[in-house]
A and B are shown apart, each in its own frame.
Chain A
Amino acid sequence: MSSTNRTAAETQVLVTRSLARRYRAERRFRFYGLSAVVAGLAFVVFLFGTIFAQGLSVFQQSYVEVEIFYDPEIIDPSGTRNPDDLVTADYQALVREALKARFPQVEGRRDLRELYGLVSSAASIELQQRITSDPMVIGTRETRWVLADDTVDMLIKGRVSRTAPEDERRLSDQQIGWIAALERDGTLELRFNRAFFSNGDSRDPEQAGVRGALIGSMLTLFITLLLSFPIGVGAAVYLEEFAPRNRLTDIIEVNINNLAAVPSIVFGLLGLAVFIGFFGLPRSAPLVGGFVLTLLTLPTIIIASRAALKAVPPSIREAALGMGASRLQMVAHHVLPLAVPGMLTGAIIGMARALGESAPLLMIGMVAFIVEVPQGVFDPATALPVQVFLWSDLPERGFIERTSGAIIVLLLFLLVMNATAVLLRNKFEKRW
């Protein structure tokens, strides 16, 4: 059947007959599109849902209230109040005595060890700080809230079942009985988790905090911003306002676009070979991290800054030149002030990218286990996303919660940065 000698009526029939099929295809296609969008949104919800479900509880932590007697016999048997003796005293013993006093019926070495296991070893450090800052309290009594062990914390938060068979959990039936007793008289409860924001890394989940990583990230970002914003803006101004059109500037432009798509780990290799291998800068230092992230964010900032410069209408430039300004004066006095909001937006987005970046930092050694909070850009440090990576590898149940908590902190920072960028753009964006 050839289509050329078909009459109009026959075509009409053909079309009408096929219409139902074609509409079905139309609906099917539309359904595919809709389900793709729904799937994408479902991923967003699922991703954030699981992270928040696992991590929100990190902002609270189980504390035990104990009545501590600052026994001079234990802290300072010689009675000299010598500061060196006070530092090295057996503070663990104070906590042990307090627990023994709370459960006087517990006897036997094994049982006592289980009882002492309910409280974190952080408690003794806290007591040490208390005594060394104020030796006058020796000999007095004080009720204090001390950190509970992470296994207790997981039980309180319901991450570990109380009814599971005894050999499948890390707490014995006896310990669970004590926990129930403590809960009953209100001396074991969830309180705001200060330690998570004031501590560095630790091997014990209940003591591990994000402060070290957060400061490390801030130092790194500080170096990054300090270098990449001026260099990026300078490069954008040159390429947009001064560069002659020649081979060299063409190469620079192609190069910037390609650099933006180089995998971040390759920048890490560069940092390792050049900054650490060649220039001999210290490993694990925020300074080197800042250098590497500068190179990584530079293309983003240059591209955003050029777009901001392009948006300034030529009439502004012509007016300035017409009044006798030099090219540099025209740029510095008239074009740049108008382009700054756009450039800042680009810089913030670049910084947000740098904050989430971890692969290049692994390469330059910012993955060490570091307890102390870094004091300067030469100190060994980690960064927030690297901390997430480090914790995610640890087997304890408590660290899953810590990891999700660190992710929530990281996401909050990213949210704030991106929101600032959007606000900045909306407030200062000019339509000419």
Chain B
Amino acid sequence: MTPSILIVALVLLSFIAYQLGKARSLAVVGGARGIRNLHSLPGHYGLLTALWCGLPALLLVAVWVAVQDQVLIALVSAQLPASVQSLGNDQFVLFLNDLRNVVASNIPASQVSPETAAAAAEYLRLRDVARLALAALAFSIGIIAMLVVRGRIRADLRARNSVERVLEGMLFLCSLVAVLTTIGIILSVVFEATRFFGIVPAQEFLFGTKWSPQMAIRADQVGSSGAFGAVPLFAGTLLISAIAMLVAVPIGLFSAIYLAEYAPSKVRSVVKPLLEVLAGVPTVVYGFFAVTTVGPLLRTAGESMGLTVAGESALAAGLVMGIMIIPFVSSLADDMITAVPQSLRDGAYALGATRSETIKQVVLRAALPGIVGGVLLAISRAIGETMIVVMAAGLAANLTANPLEAVTTVTVQIVTLLVGDQEFDSPKTLAAFALGLVLFIVTLVLNVIALYVVRKYREQYE
């Protein structure tokens, strides 16, 4: 019985338990007439029975599904013949891979060594035994729980309170998922990054200026020393983000000002959603746009002015990233500007200020903290943006401040280091997690500051 069928069967069993519990509660008080003697609604008694019947059994199944593979592999490896036991670590991993493939019937058993085939057969035998045992155990737990609860149903059993406590607990667990995600991110990134820092010292990673993560596979290989100095990546990321902000902040801010202060409401209601379309476009689309349109355009423009522009220049990636961020800046700035109380504007007009003077000297100054917060959020977006730079920025680590050259970024390197099949514990793959850690910390700090500033600002005018 596969786990999915088992789960369906358990759900059906819980449904039976629901009906049994409901019927029992009515029987206890002598049918529908005595229903007002019941503490809770009959459905609550049904639910209580169903929860007791289904939850423990389903939990058991879930735990087994999560650990099944590890347990079975351990059991199978314990009784492998000596010839396999004595294999080196790498060979053994290959053996396990073959084993898994045979088990999943990706490879027919006839194509692998007899040891692997035997082990796979043993694995399948154990899995069948385990499945049978699991099904028997889960069903007996369910049925026993169902019968016990059914036997305990009395008119004064506080079924509703118990059911609601369980359901509230489930809701609480739902809200814990977000916390667990954060913990999961921190643990996974920190864990792999510490392994990386065990191989490459942290100060070399943070302050080294040479990045070439290709490790030598053979000892005599040329040109693959494996240097992990991440400064060129940080510089490249900052360069592209700076270009993006140079595009996005003026255009975003000025269009927000115009739409909030000058444009008639009809124009505003049409133009604002149109600009926000830019925010809904997937980032791959921007990447494609940068590669096929903006890159070549800049190249020809550069040639006509006698400049050499690299095919994957920082300028192209930064410009397109800036376009992507415009709606982000403009909608945040718009929120902040419209939050400034009208009385401040009226005061400025009364003193004889023109509209632009009011905006520059009163509105923008009042909205400044909020706008700064919004810009910080936008910077964090730019730093974490992946697809545009993966497609439009270069791969070679190049320490330069010239926007016409190709640079690489933190996110580009994470993607290139991790895409493709690689073993999980080479410094190359671990380096990606170290970069991920830096990225996570930097964006987190920016976000925390930005959210704090924005919240303080909002409170000021509420």
Contacts and interface: CB of A to CB of B under 8 A. Distances in A.
Given A242-B168, A263-B385, A234 B175 contact: yes
A51 B285 contact: yes
Nearest to A269: B436
B378 to A, nearest CB: 11
A74 interface: no
B283 A356 contact: yes
B330 to A, nearest CB: 7
Interface stretch (B110-118, B188-196, B205-213, B399-407): B188-196
Contacts of B354: 22-23, 25-26
B277 A389 contact: no
Contacts of A32: 254
Interface string A367-396: 100000000000000000110110011000
Contacts of B385: 263
A392 to B, nearest CB: 5
A274 B185 CA distance: 9
B411 interface: yes
A414 B275 CA distance: 16
B185 A266 contact: yes
Contacts of B377: 261
Contacts of A208: none
A178 interface: no
A43 B261 CA distance: 22
Interface in A132-180: none
A163 B280 CA distance: 41
Which one of B275, B385, B414 has the highest number of Cβ atoms from chain A below 10 Å of its Cβ? B414
A363 B282 contact: no
A50 B293 contact: yes
Nearest to B164: A328
Interface residues of A, number: 89
B58 interface: no
A272 B438 CA distance: 17
Contacts of A29: 355-356, 359-360
Interface stretch (B134-142, B221-229, B441-449): B441-449
A10 to B, nearest CB: 16
Given A367-B419, A389-B387, A47 B174 contact: no
Interface stretch (B16-24, B143-151, B176-184): B176-184
B444 A33 contact: no
A355 B327 CA distance: 20
B440 interface: yes
Contact of B285 (A230, A269, A386, A410): A410
A239 B262 contact: no
B175 A252 contact: yes
B433 A269 contact: yes
Contacts of B283: 356, 358-359
Nearest to A239: B175
Interface in A19-66: 22-23, 25-26, 28-30, 32-37, 39-41, 43-44, 47, 50-51, 54
A239 B282 CA distance: 31
A410 B287 CA distance: 14
Nearest to A299: B178
Contact of A279 (B66, B185, B250): B66
A340 B381 CA distance: 31
Contacts of A302: 175, 178
Which one of A262, A327, A355 has the highest number of Cβ atoms from chain B below 10 Å of its Cβ? A262
B48 to A, nearest CB: 14
Given A44-B275, A234-B171, A252-B179, A36 B384 contact: no
A195 interface: no
B234 to A, nearest CB: 15
B275 A273 contact: no
A269 B432 contact: yes
Which one of A234, A259, A261 has the highest number of Cβ atoms from chain B below 10 Å of its Cβ? A261
Interface residues of B, number: 92
Given A36-B250, A261-B447, A388 B181 contact: no
Nearest to A360: B386
B282 A238 contact: no
Interface string A64-93: 000000000000000000000000000000
A40 B251 contact: yes
B284 A273 contact: no
Contact of B167 (A39, A269, A328, A400): A328
B406 to A, nearest CB: 16
A26 B253 CA distance: 17
Given A23-B354, A36-B258, A392 B292 contact: yes
B274 interface: yes
Contacts, number: 266
A33 B433 contact: no
A47 B292 contact: no
Main secondary structure of the interface of B (DSSP, over half): helix
A217 to B, nearest CB: 11
A359 B386 contact: yes
A194 to B, nearest CB: 24
Contacts of B461: none
Interface string B258-300: 1101110000000100110110111111111101110000000
A241 to B, nearest CB: 9
A118 B414 CA distance: 42
A41 to B, nearest CB: 6
B383 interface: yes
Contact of B292 (A259, A359, A400): A400
A262 B444 contact: yes
A308 interface: no
A375 to B, nearest CB: 14
B278 A44 contact: yes
A400 to B, nearest CB: 6
B285 A362 contact: no
A273 B175 contact: no
Contacts of A273: 188-189, 191-192, 433
A37 B271 contact: yes
A257 B274 contact: no
Contacts of B172: 238, 242
Contacts of A407: 284-285, 288
A36 B174 contact: no
Contacts of B66: 279
Given A26-B354, A231-B177, A54 B182 contact: no
Contact of A34 (B170, B181, B258, B288): B258
Interface string B337-372: 000000000000000101111011000000000000
Given A258-B451, A362-B419, A238 B185 contact: no
B274 A41 contact: yes
Contacts of B271: 37, 41
A54 B448 CA distance: 42
B282 A266 contact: no
Contacts of B262: 30, 33-34
9 contacts: A34-B262, A39-B255, A40-B326, A51-B285, A234-B170, A238-B171, A270-B184, A352-B280, A362-B390
Interface of B: 66, 69-70, 160, 164, 167-168, 170-179, 181-182, 184-185, 188-189, 191-192, 250-255, 257-259, 261-263, 271, 274-275, 277-278, 280-289, 291-293, 323, 326-327, 330, 352, 354-357, 359-360, 377, 380-381, 383-387, 390-391, 411, 414-415, 418-419, 424, 432-433, 436, 439-440, 443-444, 447-448, 451
